[in-house]
Structure 1
Amino acid sequence: MRWRLNSSLFKAFCIISVACCYVVFLVITAIYQDKVTGKEELVRVDQNRAVSIRQYSLVEDFSVPFADVRILADILSYRMSDNAVSRDDVLQVLYAFAENKRGYGQVRFLDATGYEKVRINREHGQIRVVPQDELQLKAHREYVKAAMRLGAGDVYVSPLDLNIENNKIEVPYVPVIRFVTPVINAAGVRVGFVVLNFYASEMLEHFQEAASDTLSNAMLLNAQGYWLVSDDKDACWAFMFEKDDNTASNKTLAATYPIIWEQTQKGASGQIRNGDGLFTWRTVTPSFAIFPNLDKGRHVEPPVAVSPYKWVVMQHVSEEKLTALKDDVFTTCVWGWIVLSAIAVSTLWFTLLIIQQGQEHREELEELAHNDWLTGLSNLRHMFSRLEEACEKSRISNVPFFVLYIDLDDFKFVNDRYGHEAGNIVLRHVASVLRKNVRLTDTVARIGGDEYVILLENMPGSDKAEEIAFNILTSFQEPVILECGSEVYVKASIGIAGWSSDISGADDLMKRADVAMYDSKNEGKNTISIYSEQDDDIAI
C-alpha cells in the first residue's frame, strides 16, 4: 500500500488540513472562552459562598459572649437585696460561670466607680480568684469609660486586639474582646459592670476553617482596615506593634489596595476584579446577631444598643491564581486542539489515500481497457476510437492524417526458435522503436500478435509519413539482444494510407492501410507501400 499522496492530492491535503485546523482552532477558542468564563463565574460564586459562610461563623461565635455577659448581669440584678449585691454572691456566680465557660480569660465585676470587686483569671487552663489586694481601679480604661454611658441591657464591645500582660503582648498571641454591660438594680440604678475578656482564638480558627477554600486568602479586617486574619501573618495585628500611627497605617488594606478599601466603605458587600485579582467582601456588624427579645409580659424589648463595631470579611484570589486557572484551561484546550487536529489531519490523509487508490485502480482499469498488456501501447479498441475521432475531425475541418500499418516479417521464426519469452522481448523492443520515431501527439497501438498501427494526426503529406516509416525500418537495423545472448534482427512490412473524403470510417481506413502493408509483403518484405485506388481494385 502506498502511503504517499500524488502532487495534486497532496496540495489538496495541505489546503484542507489548514482549513480543518483553523476550524478546530475556532471551535477550541470558543470552548476556551466558555470554559474560562464558566470557571471565573464559578470562582465568583464560590467566593461569595465562602464569605457568607465565614460571616455566619463570626456572627454565631460572637453572639455567645454577647448573650453570656447579659445573662450574668441579669442574674446579679435578680440576686440583689436592698439594692446591693454582696461580694460573696458575685464571686459565687462568676466562679461557677468561669468554671464552665473555658473561652474567657477574665471574668470580672466592677463597681459603679470602675473599681474591680471580683476578678477571676484563667491561667494555663486553671481558674484563679485574684486576691482583693491585687484588684485595681479601671475607671481610666476606655472600655470602662464607654460602659459608663450604657443603659440597661446595652453592651459595649471592645475592638478585637491582642491580650497584654504586664504591659507586654502575651506570647503566643491571645486575641481578646472585652464585653461590658451594666448591672442595674430594681430602682434602675447602675451598681456595677460585668466584664468578660473573651478569648477569640477559637472564633478566629472557626472563621478560617468554616470554608474549605485553598484558592483564596481569607481575611478579616477591623474598622480601620488592619488585618486580624490573613495568610500573611506579618501583616496581622500591625496596630498592636507599631507605635507610630503613620507607620502602622501603611500596613492596612487601605494602603495596600486603596481602591478596594474605598469600595468596602461604600457598600456592605461587593465583589471587584482588577489587576490585583478578585476581591469579595461583606461587612459584619455584630449587632446584626442580636435580635429583640420578649420580656415576661411578652412585649418586645427595645433593640439592644451595641457600641459602633465593624469587621470586614474578605477573600482575595490573586491575579496569578486566576491566571493559573486560565492557563490550566488553555493547556487543556491546546492539547485538545492538537489531538483533534491530528485526528482530523490523519483522517483526511487516509481518506485521500483511499481516494487516490480508487483513482489509481480506475486508471489501471482504464489502461487495461485502452492499452496492450505486453507493450503498454494502445490496443485495437483504443486505436479505433482514436481513428473515429480523427475521421470526424477531418470531415469537419479537412485536416489530413495518415495511418501506418506494420506487420513484422518472419516473426514466427523467433517464437519457434527462441521461445515465446524471446518473442515478447522483440515485441516490446518494437514498441520502443515505434515510440521513439513518432511525435508525442501520435498514437501507437499493437492490434494483434505482431501487428502495429500508428495514427499520424495533422500530417500535411504522405512524404512525411513515408519518412517516419523509413526511420522506423532504419531503427530496426539495430539487433535485439535476447536473454540467451543471441541477436535478432527485426524486419517489417509497412503500409501507409491517408485520409480522403471518400473514406467511410475507421474500418475503411484500416483496410486500406492493411492492403498497402500486403503490397509490401508481396514486394519482398521489409519495405514501405502507400495505398492507392489500384490497390483497392486488386484487393477486391
Structure 2
Amino acid sequence: MLRGKEELFKKTIKLFIIIFPCLSLILGGMLFSFYYSSVHDSEMSLLEKEQYYINHERDLSREHFSTVVSDLLFLADQGSSNNCYAPSSTKDLDYLKRGILAFSAQKKRYDQIRYIDAQGNEILRVNYNNGNPVLINPEKLQNKLSRYYFAESFKLAKNEVYISPFDLNVEYGAIEVPYKPMLRFGTPVFDDSGTKEGIVLLNYLGEDYLKLIKSMSLIAYGDIMLLNQDGYFLSHPDSEREWGFMINPNDKQCFLPQHLDLWQKMQTSSSGQIKTDDGVYTFTKLSPLNAAVGAATTFSERMAASERMETDTEYFWILMSFIPAEKLAAIKSPLLWQILWLGGGVLIIIMVGSWFLAQSMTRRKFYQEKLFAMAHYDLLTGLPNRALLFEHLQQVLYRCQRYQRKAAVMYMDLDGFKAVNDTLGHDAGDDLLVAVGERIKAKCRASDTVARLGGDEFAVLLPEIQDISGVQLLAEKILKTFQDPFILKKSEAHIGVSIGISIYPENGTSLEGLLDAADKAMYSSKNKGKNTLTFAVD
C-alpha cells in the first residue's frame, strides 16, 4: 500500500511539472497581453488628451487675441468718428481722451494706447501706468515716423491689422526690468471720406497671455512651451530659457539647433504629435494674425481677413507640450505592480489548482489502469487473464485469415498442484502459481501471450508460426523447465505440466474451436501419464 502511494505521488509530481508551467505560460501570455494593451490604451488616451489640451489652448489663444483685435478696430472707429486728427472743436478731442482713459482702466491689458497721424506724430497717448492710466501732455508726445511699427501699420488697408513680434519692452535702449513682454497691434484710421489719416496703436501687455499659457500646465501632462518662429522660447517651465533671442542669444537658449529634424517636421504640419527617444512632442501652430478673421464684423471683412491671413503664415508661434520618456514610463509602473500582484495571486491559485488537477488526473488514470488490470490481468500472477487472451486470440485470427498465416494455442494444466496446495498451504500454492507463470513466460517470445485461465490452468498464444516443429520445441522447453524444483519462501515443490496444442487453421478457424481442440489435447496428455505434450488431431 505504501509503495502504491509513493508511486502515485511520483506520478502526480511528474504531471504537475507539466501542467503548472503550461498554465503559467498561458497566464503569463494573458497578463502580458493585458498589460501591453492597457499600457497602450493608457498612453494613447494620455496623448489624445494632450493633443486636445494643446488644440484647446490654440483656440483660447485665438479668442484671446480676437478680443484684442476687436478693441483695436473699435478704437480705430472711435478715432474716425471723433475726428481725432482734425477735430472741429477741442470738445471732441477731450471726449475721446476721456474715453480712452476709461477704456485703458477697464481693459487693464494695454501698456500704451496711441493715435499717430500720417506724419508719425503722436496726437494722443495714454499710458497704463501700472493700473493708474495717465494722459501724456502734448509737449511730451513724440514723432514715430521712423519706427517700424508705424510704417507697417500705416501701409495697411481698412480693418487690416499689424502685429509685431513678441518681445520684451525696451526703454532708452535697454530691456525694461522687470521684464515686460510686449506685442504691438496697429491698424490705420480713415476719415468719413475714406482718406487714411493715421494709425491707432496698442502696446499689449503679453504677460496676461503668457499666464494663460502657463495655466495650461495645471491640466496638461507634459511641460508646456511657447516658441517663436525662430525656435526661441517665449514661455518655458525654466524661466532662464525664456527670451533668449534678446537676453543671451545662443544655441542653448534655442530649441532649433538641438532638434533640427523635429523642427523641420513641425513646419510641415499645423499640429500633431512626434514620438522620439527623448519623449513625445505635441504641438500646434498658432498666430495672433488669425484673430483678424474672428474680429471682422461682416462676411466680406472676414473673407478679406482670411485671404490676408494666408499671406501672413510666415509669422507664427508654436505651442508645444513635451512629455519626457521617463514620465511616459512612469505610467507603466503602477500598472506593472498591479499586474504583478494580480499575477502572483493567480499564480498561487494556478499552482494549487495544478496540484489538485494533477492529483485528480493521476488518481483517475491509476484507478482506470487498476480497473483495466482487474478486468484483463490475473491479480496473483500479473499475467493476462482469460478475457484478454480471448481479445489477443481474436486479433491473431483476424491477421492469420487476412495474410494466410499460422498460429498455435497451448493449453496447460499443472500436475500435482493440488497436493502442494493441500500440504504446504494456500500461500505456498499462490507462490507456486507465480513462479510457474514466470518460468513459462521466460521460455516464450515477447510476441507470445502467456495467460492464466484460472486455478492451475495456463495458456500460451503463439502468433505467426512457421511450422509445428517450432511449437513442439517450445513445448518441450517448458516441460523441461518443470523438471527443476520450484523454490518457495518456506519450502520447495515438484510438479509437472500437461500440455495440449492446437494449430490454426488445421485444428480450428475460430476462437472457440482452437481452445476446445487444445483443451482436449491437454486431457489426452493427462491420460498418457501427465507431464507430456499432445497435438490436437484434425
TM norm. shorter chain > 0.5: yes
Question: Between Structure 1 and Structure 2, which shows a larger proportion of helix residues?
Answer: 2
Equivalent residue number for residue 58 of structure 2:
55
Match of 1:466 in 2: 476
Q: One-letter code of the match for 1:162?
A: L
Structure 1 residue corresponding to 2:422, chosen from 395, 408, 413: 413
Give the counterpart of 1:512 among 509, 521, 524. 521
Residue matched to 2:127 = 120
CA pair 512-291 structure 1, distance change in 2 beyond 3 A: same
- Equivalence for 1:312: 317
Aligned to 1:525: none
Tell me the CA shift for residue 52 of structure 1. 3.5
- Asked if structure 1 preserves the Cα contact closer than 8 Å seen for 2:420 and 2:428, the reply is no
Query: Does 1:489 pair with 2:495?
Result: no
Paired letter, 1:380: R
The answer to whether the aligner puts 1:137 opposite 2:142 as a matched pair is yes
TM-fit CA distance, 1:511? 2.5
Deviations 1:21-47 (A, max 9, x none): 7xx79x969x979996x8888778656
SS class of match (1:368): helix
**Matching residue of 2:430:** 424
* Segment drifting more, 189-198 vs 376-385: 189-198
Number of the residue aligned with 1:240:
246
TM-score, with length taken from structure 2: 0.69
How far apart are the structure 2 equivalents of 1:107 and 1:387?
A: 118
Deviation at 1:100, TM superposition (A): 1.7
Q: CA deviation at 1:62?
A: 0.8
Q: TM-score normalised to the size of structure 1?
A: 0.69
Would the aligned equivalents of 1:163 and 1:169 in 2 still touch at CA under 8 Å? yes
Q: 1:158 to 1:249 in 2, by over 3 A?
A: farther
Give CA-to-partner distance per residue, 1:262-317, whole Å, 9 cap, x none.
566666x25475757656433433354355436xxx99799578995832344455
When structure 1 is superposed on structure 2, of 112-121 and 171-180 the one drifting more is: 112-121
SS of residue paired to 1:82: coil
Secondary structure in 2 matching 1:180? strand
Cα offset, 1:179, TM superposition: 2.6
Question: Aligned partners of 1:438, 1:302: CA distance in 2, in Å?
Answer: 109
Distance 2:193 2:177 in 1: 44
Which amino acid is the alignment partner of residue 58 of structure 1? S
* Match among 99, 105, 113 for residue 111 of structure 2: 105
In the TM superposition, what is the alpha-carbon distance from 1:82 to its structure 2 partner? 1.5
SS at match of 2:64: helix
Map 1:35-434 onto structure 2 (within 5 A). 49-80=52-83, 81-82=87-88, 88-110=94-116, 113-115=120-122, 117-123=124-130, 126-127=131-132, 129=134, 132=137, 135=140, 137-139=142-144, 140-149=146-155, 155-165=161-171, 167-181=173-187, 194-209=200-215, 214-216=220-222, 218-231=224-237, 233-242=239-248, 247=249, 252=254, 254-259=256-261, 261-262=263-264, 269=270, 271=272, 273=274, 280-284=283-287, 285-293=289-297, 310-315=315-320, 320=325, 362-383=368-389, 397=405, 402-407=410-415, 408-414=417-423, 418=425, 420-421=426-427, 423-434=429-440
Give the Cα separation in 2 of the matches to 1:271 and 1:392.
79
* Corresponding residue SS for 2:493: coil
Distance 2:156 2:399 in 1: 122
Q: 1:519 to 1:345 in 2, by over 3 A?
A: farther
What is the root-mean-square deviation of aligned Cα atoms in Å?
5.4
CA contact (8 A) 2:386 2:452 kept: yes
SS at the partner of 1:122?
A: coil
> Is the Cα contact below 8 Å between 2:450 and 2:460 reproduced in 1?
yes
Amino acid at match of 1:173: Y
Change (3 A) 1:324 1:348: same
Q: Distance in 2 between matches of 1:502 and 1:258?
A: 101
Q: Return the offset for 1:160.
A: 1.6
Total equivalences in the alignment: 496
Report deviation, 1:127: 1.0
Q: Does residue 498 of structure 1 match 2:504?
A: no
**CA distance in structure 2 between the aligned counterparts of 1:89 and 1:426, rounded to whole angstroms:** 138
For residues 377 and 159 of structure 1, the distance between their equivalents in structure 2, rounded to whole angstroms, comes to 104
- Can you list the C-alpha shifts for 1:209-256, whole angstroms capped at 9, x where unaligned? 4698635554434344433234564543222224xxxx5588555544
Q: Is the 8 A contact 1:117 1:135 kept in 2?
A: no
**Alpha-carbon distance in structure 1 between the residues aligned to 2:316 and 2:293:** 13
**In structure 2, do the counterparts of structure 1 residues 135 and 90 end up closer, same or farther at CA, with 3 Å as the change threshold?**
farther
Kept in 2: contact 1:280–1:316 (CA 8 A): yes
Amino acid at match of 1:368: M
